[in-house]
Amino acid sequence: MATQATEREIAVVGVIGAGQMGSGIAQLAAAAAGCVVLLLDSDTAALSRAVASISSSLRRLVAKGQLSQASYEDSIERIKCVSSVQELCDADLVIEAIVESEDIKKKLFVELDKITKPSAILASNTSSISITRLASATNRPCQVIGMHFFNPPPIMKLIEIIRGADTSEEVFTKVKYFSERLGKMIICSQDYPGFIVNRILMPMINEAFWALYTGVATKEDIDTGMKLGTNHPMGPLQLADFIGLDVCLSVLGVLHNGLGDSKYSPCPLLVQYVDAGRLGKKRGQGVYSYGTRSSSIKPRSSL
């Protein structure tokens, strides 16, 4: 068990990226862990949407009797929107939830390394990128760690913690205790491509695309088969839409490049959908239509 002193060591949390993942992480840090949250995004409209989303989510908890009105107000008050990385200088922990690009994340970590206090822990919400390589961009590799949240963070019970080659035991322990303060179950992965969940999940999603591409079945039957036949709450194609087809393609690329196995080579239909901008629910169109746009892309009946 964590001591009170250990738990108090993370009191100010910086969250970079005000999208669905970042806003969800910010909500957890403020409402579940009672931290001051510095939510950073260069897009002021994204920050406004994030605060509105967090407020709406917490109000639903109040309506259900799962959160008091006073706790709701305190949680909202603890979230501070900022627009400059320099404003994260007092954070004890910084969690980035930006685009899944190693180059972009590395540039961010270089900047964070310069402006955060020496004791600060730098965490990435990456779903597949090497923590060791991200840490190598800093002068504090022992204080860099992976915290892979699942979408949406306030609801999904899991955090996948990834230790880089140099991540210290002290940093791992602090992040583990902090994750437990968020009310999450913890699994720990070594720093291999895709970690645990995506190394298993993405080949299944990719195989579902191959089944659709080659005409094995309709998208509805593929998803229904996996839901009712294997007791999954959501079929793999619908899940891909919720994750984001671009994210799925990126993770498959990391797996393919990192492990060198052709079984991770992405299905051409997945590539085609991403090229067409059919990125899933966030864009209103992926494998399924969510009512905001249409496309003429159809799976092929055979190879």
Q: Establish whether 41 is an annotated binding residue.
A: yes
Q: Establish whether 284 is an annotated binding residue.
A: no
Q: CA 28, CA 125: separation in Å to the nearest integer?
A: 14
Q: Establish whether 250 is an annotated binding residue.
A: no
Q: CA 124, CA 130: separation in Å to the nearest integer?
A: 10
Q: Establish whether 31 is an annotated binding residue.
A: no
198 catalytic per annotation = yes
In angstroms, what CA-CA distances link 111 with 107, 115, 137, 147, 294? 6, 7, 10, 19, 40
127 catalytic per annotation = yes
**Cis geometry, peptide bond prior to residue 152 (ω within 30 degrees of 0):** yes
- Candidate list 160, 179, 250, 256, residue with the active-site label: 160
Q: Establish whether 19 is an annotated binding residue.
A: yes
Q: Establish whether 86 is an annotated binding residue.
A: no
Q: Establish whether 206 is an annotated binding residue.
A: no
- Candidate list 23, 53, 127, 206, residue with the active-site label: 127
Q: How many CB atoms lie within 10 A of CB 117?
A: 11
Question: CA angle 175-178-182, nearest 5°?
Answer: 135
Side chain identity at residue 278, one-letter code: R
Q: Establish whether 106 is an annotated binding residue.
A: no
Q: Establish whether 18 is an annotated binding residue.
A: yes
Q: Establish whether 234 is an annotated binding residue.
A: no
In angstroms, what CA-CA distances link 148 with 152, 160, 161, 187, 299? 12, 5, 6, 10, 32
- Candidate list 198, 206, 250, 256, residue with the active-site label: 198
Q: Establish whether 68 is an annotated binding residue.
A: no
Contact 266, 249 (CB under 8 A): yes
- Candidate list 125, 128, 148, 256, residue with the active-site label: 148
Catalytically active residues, by annotation: 127, 148, 160, 198
Residues at the binding site for CoA are 57, 64, 127
Residues at the binding site for NAD(+) are 17-22, 41, 100, 105, 127, 151, 282
Residues at the binding site are 17-22, 41, 57, 64, 100, 105, 127, 151, 282
